[in-house]
Amino acid sequence: MVLYLICFTWFTYTGMRCSLKMFSLWKFVALSAQLCAGAIFERVTDLPTMDFDFIIVGGGTAGNVVANRLSENPKHSILVLEAGASHKGIEDIQIPFYCSRLTPYTEWDWNYTTTPQVALNGRTFPFQRGYVLGGSSSVNTMAYTRGSSEDYDRYAKVTLDQGWSWKNIQIYIRKFERWTQPADGHNTTGQFDPSAHGYDGATAVSLPGYPLDTDHRVLEATSQLGGEFSYNQDLNSGSPLGVGWCPSTINKGERDSSATSYLTPEVLKRRNLQVVVNTQVTRILQSGTANCRRAFRTVEFTASHGDAQGKKTLTAKKEVILAAGSVGSPFILLHSGIGDSRDLSRVGIKPIVYLPSVGRNLSDHMVAPNLWTVNTTDTLETWVRDPVFAANALETWRTTRTGPFVDIPITQVGFVRVKDDGVVFKKYGDPSAGPNSPHVELVINNGIAGKTIPPAGNFFIIGAIIVTPSARKTPLIFNEHFIHNNISGGSLVLHSNDPFEHPIINPAYAGSDLDMYILREGIRSAQRLAEAPAIRNYVGPALFSPTTDAELDEFIRSNGTNLHHPVGTAGMSAKDANYGVVDPDLRVKGVAGLRIIDSSVFPFIPSGHTMAATYILGERGADLVKMAW
């Protein structure tokens, strides 16, 4: 308003009456008012400036963290380029229970597909990645588990940088996490450890806010069975083994993504931060040299997906920060001529920087679902099938942000280690980060709540997830066993030199004997949990009852599916290591002016849902950039 009055007074005083000048002045005032109010721009051409210190490629889970933290310094100017649309006003994104509607193969998904997976009977799978502001934090299941303390200590060991250790990332956990009351406001005493959480951070984390009939049964089972299924008061304490409540990034009944928590209206009011959606970066271009290295500070982008004729460029004065995710970041590097020279030449791209680890080391979680029938309709299937129930629940959510739709379909999970049979681990080694880290996550669901559900029947599900996949070819290894046994690895390579053609994604699910062993034992753990009297009295016959190794292997090959937690395609390694893509400060090796801050840099997949670890990464990555400048 002050700016408007100054401009209006100046206009009146000078007596100008030229309509063209009047139009230009009012356009300037309107644009200034827009910037003061905070904005997400649809086109780069709408920006008030093309001069930026930092250009962040990708407004996803980590990218928005970095944008927020760097823009805290008014001396730095920041641009975020997001390929997808804005998240604002999309109710399906807001409603936690509707998370399964968002992917795969929707307008909010990149709609990638894997190659046929050899170990899973040649089946292909959707490879879901968020194509919207907030990235995958806007479309995922919101489950919040950090992994074990040993996961982070292993990152520190591999990178030779203690800044990544569990002890030293605690400051970043507190910085991004805001522990919040569940939607129903119930007493959560005994359901979490208050000392393990942050209360003043940006992103809300809360426990389930609507009770399910299976809650008490699962908790009763922990006391009945004990041992591997003992109750764990807080799965995020760094010691996740056992069964406990599953928190999620939900704030007062609504999804809290990096877009809603880090790009708040107050943050978007900062004059030094601009966010542009519907803008896809195709390459990072060399923009000179620095310290005898090629500098990559120029981004090539197009205003709309597939518009190859409309490419433009912008150059950052300080750094380009890739935050396009485990598919997007290596994809852009490869199209920029940074990667394995042979792979680049094969698709007609001129190799510029030899960095053969780009796109290698792809790791992802996969799950073997175990289903039991139940003799009740009080399951999630009814919430989807019954139009009256669904309409009432939706109205309750819209008016009060309470009721069944305030939660994700998961309320409890368990983390277990499999037994050492004296053969497999002797041959391959233990793939976990340490003796207090799990091999398997057990995800417990009172029914099926996906986009498509069976036309009849009600079910109880315990999914067995391998959280320590061993498929990898690079020297980012567990121990010497992986060198000698040549375990095939996951990878991402280009299909062609067309930046709008999806890459070839091969996660190598169940790609080793070790993976198959862990999955078999994970299913047996799920079966043992279902034998607890509290659960056995609830469930009927299992839909599948594999018992022998051969039956279990065939069950996995026919029914196993993926979890969409990819990491590793731009892995961290020590500064002087001859493998990896980024150093411990997240700088791309061998070049200047370019960093990667997203889940692609994790050299090992954490033994939990990757979102929490990616927020931590975003906070520490932002600090590393700040320290450099």
Q: What is the pLDDT of residues 574-605, one digit of tens each?
A: 999 999 999 999 999 999 999 999 999 999 99
Mean pLDDT of 345-361: 97
Mean pLDDT of 33-58: 82
Supply the residues annotated as catalytic: 565, 609
Residue extents of the structural domains in the chain: 1-37, 91-261+361-628
Asked whether the predicted pLDDT for residue 11 surpasses 90, the reply is: no
- pLDDT (0 to 100) of residue 472: 53
- pLDDT (0 to 100) of residue 605: 96
Min mean pLDDT across 259-263, 328-332, 512-516 is at: 512-516
Q: Environment class of residue 428 by beta-carbon count within 10 Å: exposed (0-12), middle (13-18) or buried (19+)?
A: buried
Q: CA 468 → CA 194, 413, 477, distances in Å?
A: 28, 16, 12
Torsion of CA 18, 24, 30, 34, to 10 degrees: -170
Q: Which tens digit of pLDDT belongs to each residue from 113-126?
A: 999 999 999 999 99
- pLDDT (0 to 100) of residue 16: 33
Asked whether the predicted pLDDT for residue 73 surpasses 80, the reply is: yes
Confidence of residue 483 (pLDDT cuts 50, 70, 90): very low
- pLDDT (0 to 100) of residue 37: 39
Asked whether the predicted pLDDT for residue 134 surpasses 80, the reply is: yes
Confidence of residue 480 (pLDDT cuts 50, 70, 90): very low
Confidence of residue 18 (pLDDT cuts 50, 70, 90): very low
Range 301-336 burial, b when 16+ CB lie within 10 A, else e: bbbeeeeeeeeeebbbebbbbbbbbbbbbbbbbbbb
- pLDDT (0 to 100) of residue 70: 98
Short-list 132, 174, 102, 186, CA closest to 411:
186
- pLDDT (0 to 100) of residue 38: 54
- pLDDT (0 to 100) of residue 451: 81
Q: How far apart are CA 216 and CA 45, in angstroms?
A: 56
Enumerate the known binding-site residues. Answer: 132, 281
Strand partners, 370: 462
Q: How many residues are there in the chain?
A: 629
Q: Which tens digit of pLDDT belongs to each residue from 249-296?
A: 999 999 999 999 999 999 999 999 999 999 999 999 999 998 889 999
Asked whether the predicted pLDDT for residue 61 surpasses 70, the reply is: yes
Nearby residues of 128 by Cβ (< 8 Å), 6 or more positions away: 103, 104, 109, 110, 112, 136, 139, 564
Mean pLDDT of 191-195: 98
Task: Give yes or no for a contact between 591 and 294, defined as CB atoms under 8 angstroms apart.
Answer: yes
Enumerate the known binding-site residues for FAD. Answer: 132, 281
Asked whether the predicted pLDDT for residue 380 surpasses 80, the reply is: yes
Q: 91-261+361-628, superfamily in CATH? A: Glucose Oxidase, domain 3 (3.30.560.10)
Asked whether the predicted pLDDT for residue 21 surpasses 60, the reply is: no
Query: Is the bond preceding 104 in cis, omega lying within 30 degrees of 0?
Result: yes
For the chain, the average pLDDT equals 91
What's the pTM?
A: 0.92
Q: How far apart are CA 120 and CA 469, in angstroms?
A: 14
- pLDDT (0 to 100) of residue 610: 98
Q: How far apart are CA 208 and CA 215, in angstroms?
A: 10
Q: What percent of the chain has pLDDT over 70?
A: 90
Q: Which tens digit of pLDDT belongs to each residue from 145-188?
A: 999 999 999 999 999 999 999 999 999 999 999 999 999 999 99
Min mean pLDDT across 61-70, 299-308, 493-502 is at: 299-308
Short-list 490, 482, 506, 488, CA closest to 571:
490
- pLDDT (0 to 100) of residue 355: 97
- pLDDT (0 to 100) of residue 175: 97
Confidence of residue 452 (pLDDT cuts 50, 70, 90): confident
Token pair of 187, please?
A: 């007493």
Token pair of 571, please?
A: 């892995």
Mean pLDDT of 202-209: 98
